[in-house]
Amino acid sequence: MAWIKRNLFFVIGGILAMGLLGAAGYYNYKGWSRNSAAFDKLNDIYSQLRSLTGQKPSPGNDKVDNIAAAREQERQVRDWIRQAAENFQPITPIPNTGTNAVSSEAFAAALRRTIDQLQHEAEVASVTLPPKYNFSFEAQRSLVKFAPGSLGALAVQFGEVKTIAEVLFAARVNSLDGIQRVRVSDDDASGPQADYFDERSVTNNLAILTPYQITFRSFSTEIGQVLAGFASSPHEFIVKSINIQPAGAVAANSPDATAPSSPTAVPTMAPGRGGLQTVLNEQLLRVTLVVEVVKLLPKKASS
């Protein structure tokens, strides 16, 4: 005790030093624990970042934000879809009831009225038609009752046939030999073979594609106008194939073929003084065109 009394300040200093060392050790341990936890968390974040960076596509880095780029590309795609949809306007069925519920009376009346209208439009455009042509609806022209379940499909087809015919009339082709469609009704079994195309509509994830075969006669200028008419239509048409032959050769090789509506045009000009005679000889052509009408499927309701 005497030693403690003599060295009281030393003892107190030692005790304080020991306390401070203990406190320092405790805080050092706490700091080490926090650092260890932070290091583990940093390793976890780094592992996640490395995993994300390794994905294809990756979210990017501090210079390239692939997520923002993906969102911008998605916006551009959606804008393109909205713009493209303007060229996929549905063709109005005939008659147009707003639903598939078409009555026999309504279809029969619309069929006769629209065929008369198309025949008048052809006459105005100077387009020659086959005698008493019913635009591929010969089997239905005289009916008042139709095969059960067929009126909705017939109304859609009739609207499409009318639209196709009016493209040809607008181009002022010389003559329309015929429009052939796929069979959609039991009544079609009794119709003339010349009214039908031995193909089927195809349905994929986006649309229904319905083919039609069109045969007409014209000169090269009108053929270009027909193709331009389909291309500029607000409805989507895909030209699948085109076959062009001299109309005279077809008539000579096929006795049943419709004769050309007009002779080959041979306009001439009088010879110039000291020059050669100028002759323009353009041959009438018979064109067989296969087009598909594209009908987008209804959008699925989001869940």
Per-residue confidence (pLDDT) for residue 90, from 0 to 100? 87
Report how many domains make up the chain: 1
- Asked if residue 241 belongs to a domain, the reply is yes
- Asked if residue 266 belongs to a domain, the reply is no
What is the rounded average pLDDT of the residues 22-32?
62
- Asked if residue 111 belongs to a domain, the reply is yes
CATH number of the domain at 114, please.
3.30.70.60
- Supply the pTM of this predicted model: 0.65
209 phi and psi angles, rounded to 5 deg: -110, 115
- Asked if residue 207 belongs to a domain, the reply is yes
- Asked if residue 288 belongs to a domain, the reply is yes
Tokens of 12: 């107190």
pLDDT band at residue 258, thresholds of 50, 70 and 90?
Answer: very low
Distances (CA, A) of 108 to 10, 33, 40, 113, 146: 121, 88, 80, 9, 9
- Asked if residue 227 belongs to a domain, the reply is yes
Residue-wise pLDDT tens digits, 210-253: 999 999 999 999 999 999 999 998 888 999 999 999 987 665 55
What is the rounded average pLDDT of the residues 200-209?
88
Domain residue limits at 130: 104-254+284-296
Lowest-pLDDT range of 47-51, 140-144, 242-246: 47-51
Q: Which residue has the higher pLDDT, 30 or 282?
A: 282
- Asked if residue 38 belongs to a domain, the reply is no
Per-residue confidence (pLDDT) for residue 60, from 0 to 100? 61
Q: Which residue has the higher pLDDT, 231 or 266?
A: 231
What is the rounded average pLDDT of the residues 95-123?
91
Q: Which residue has the higher pLDDT, 116 or 97?
A: 116
- Asked if residue 13 belongs to a domain, the reply is no
Per-residue confidence (pLDDT) for residue 262, from 0 to 100? 42
Q: Which residue has the higher pLDDT, 65 or 278?
A: 65
